[in-house]
Amino acid sequence: MRILVCMKHVADSTEVRVDPDTGVPQLRGVPTKISDYDRHAVEAAAAAREQLSAQVTVATVGPREAIKTLKEALAMGADQAVLVTGAPAEGLDAVTTSAVLAAVADRFGPYDLILCGEASEDGYNAQVGPALAERLGIPHITYAESLTLAAGQVTAVRRAGDHMETVAAACPALVTVNRKANRPRLPTAIQVLRVQSSRIQEVRPVDLGLDEAALADAQPTRVVGYRPTPMHRKGVILDGEPAAAARQLVAHLQREGVLA
């Protein structure tokens, strides 16, 4: 059994601030990290590796700093990693990313199972999984809250609106994993540091048979501007000792008419 986990190296969204006037995200100096949802995808693969002797490859399309994310996945138990560099610094749109990942799957596969996080932490488009499955001509199961692998079949429990469903798909299949799916193991900093860089294979799109210039220029979508989300808030700060501040607050809330 061979498993591919697709990952994303992201700006830590808890640290991202936007310019209050222009709405442009200030990304310089913001720490970068593994997208949290992807930890759950790696955990699911690492568990399959232990239970079914699955062989696990992790892959990402991103800057060289993404080595950090791949090393974390390797420390969690993946066997090998593929880093596709050479994409524009601002990243690729989801549909184009799925084309690069499909080329990775073709070049290093075939894989019985492809795992992704339900979405990325930064963009939360939730497009790459289904788009990649479409390119590979395989079924997908999204937002899996648990998954089991047996006899060439993956079975997952997911929420679809107001009901839960259990869905089975014959491998090869793609599953996007929800944060409820498992508790990702936490490798120590030492374990991550000890991961040998030689286990990470760096390739460029051209190595995968893709035209690099066309890849960036022919992206179907691109961000052309930002603006701040309008927030009309009063911003009244109630200073002073707790009892006085609390009394003032209650008076304000009574005036607003929001108390029961």
Taking CB under 8 A as the binding criterion, the range among 71-79, 109-117, 141-149, 187-195 that sits at the site for another protein is: 141-149
Q: Are 1 and 149 in contact (CB under 8 A)?
A: yes
Give whichever of 193 and 238 is closer to another protein, judged by the CB atom.
238
Give whichever of 83 and 171 is closer to another protein, judged by the CB atom.
171
Establish how many alpha carbons lie within 13 A of residue 162's alpha carbon, considering only the half-sphere containing its beta carbon: 0
Q: Residue from 35, 120, 142, 182 that binds another protein (CB under 8 A)?
A: 142
Query: Least Å distance between CB 44 and another protein?
Result: 16
Give whichever of 193 and 226 is closer to another protein, judged by the CB atom.
226
Give whichever of 213 and 224 is closer to another protein, judged by the CB atom.
224
Q: Residue from 173, 195, 208, 215 that binds another protein (CB under 8 A)?
A: 173
176 phi and psi angles, rounded to 5 deg: -100, 135
Q: If we measure between CA atoms, which residue out of 215, 218, 220 comes closest to residue 204?
A: 215
Q: If we measure between CA atoms, which residue out of 24, 32, 6 comes closest to residue 116?
A: 6
Binders of another protein among residues 83 to 112 (CB under 8 A) are 93-95, 98
Residues 6+ apart with CB under 8 A from 156: 141, 144, 145, 146, 147, 148, 166, 167, 168, 175
Beta partners for 116?
6, 176
**Which residue has tokens 């990693």?**
81
Binders of another protein among residues 28 to 47 (CB under 8 A) are none
Binders of another protein among residues 176 to 205 (CB under 8 A) are 179-180
Q: Residue from 168, 186, 206, 214 that binds another protein (CB under 8 A)?
A: 168
**x/- track of binding to another protein for residues 107-136 (CB under 8 A):** ---------------xxxxxxxxxx-xxx-
Residue 140 in the binding site for another protein (CB under 8 A): yes
Alpha carbon 92 to chain centroid, angstroms: 14
Binders of another protein among residues 211 to 250 (CB under 8 A) are 218-229, 231, 233-239, 242-243, 245-247, 249-250
Sign, Cα dihedral of 39, 35, 14, 123: negative
Q: If we measure between CA atoms, which residue out of 109, 9, 120 comes closest to residue 60?
A: 9
